[in-house]
Amino acid sequence: MAKKGGISSNARRALVISYVNQGLVRSQSDLVELLADEGIEVTQATASRDLEDVGAVRGKDASGVMRYQLMNSEVEPLARMARVSDELVLSITASGNLVVVKTPPGGAQLLASALDRASQSGELSSIIGTIAGDDTVLVISRNATGGKALAVQLRDFIGSALSKKLTGGSRKQKVRR
C-alpha cells in the first residue's frame, strides 16, 4: 500500500484505538506492522507513545491472551480528554438536541471515543451518543432541546480536563487577570 502522506498524530491514534478495540495489538511490534500495512511508517517508540496516549495497557484478555486493551477506569475519560483537549477541539456549536464539535482532520474519532467513555461512566450523562467523521463529531443530547446545555457541559468538561492538565491535578490555582 502507498504511504499515506501527512497523516496527523490524532488520525494515527484513532487507528490505534480501532486496532486495540479489535484485539489486534498484542505487542508494540504488532502495532508498527499494522500501521505499516496502512502505509504509515512509525518507530516502536512512536507506537509505544501512541499506546500510552490512548490509554492502552497490556494484559490478558478473556481468553488468556496477552494483548493491549483500553483502560476502563472511572478517571480515564477525563485523563484521556486532558491529553488531547488543548489541540483537538476547534469549535463547539449547538442546535436543538445536537452539538457539532469541529476538530483537526483525523481527530474526530479520538474525541468521540473519549466522549462516549465519559457518557458511559456517567461523567457526561446527558449524552445519548456520538457520530464521528474525519474532523467533525455530532454529539446527541438525551433532552430534545438540550443541545445548548450540552454544549456548555462539553466546554466545561473539556476546560476542566485542560485545567487539570495545566495545573498538574485538582489543586486550585489563582488566575491573574
Q: Is residue 172 part of a domain?
A: no
The grid coordinates of residue 97 equal 438536541
Q: Are residues 34 and 84 in the same domain?
A: no
CATH number at residue 32: 1.10.10.10
pTM of the model: 0.53
- Structural domain span for residue 60: 9-70
- Give the rounded percent of residues in the chain with a pLDDT score beyond 90: 36
- Do 85 and 156 belong to one domain? yes
Residues in the chain with pLDDT values less than 70:
1-6, 72-87, 160-177
Residues 81 and 130 in one domain: yes
**How many structural domains compose the chain?**
2
In one letter, which amino acid is 49?
Answer: R
Q: Give residue-wise pLDDT tens across range 52-92.
A: 888 888 888 778 889 998 875 444 545 555 555 556 788 99
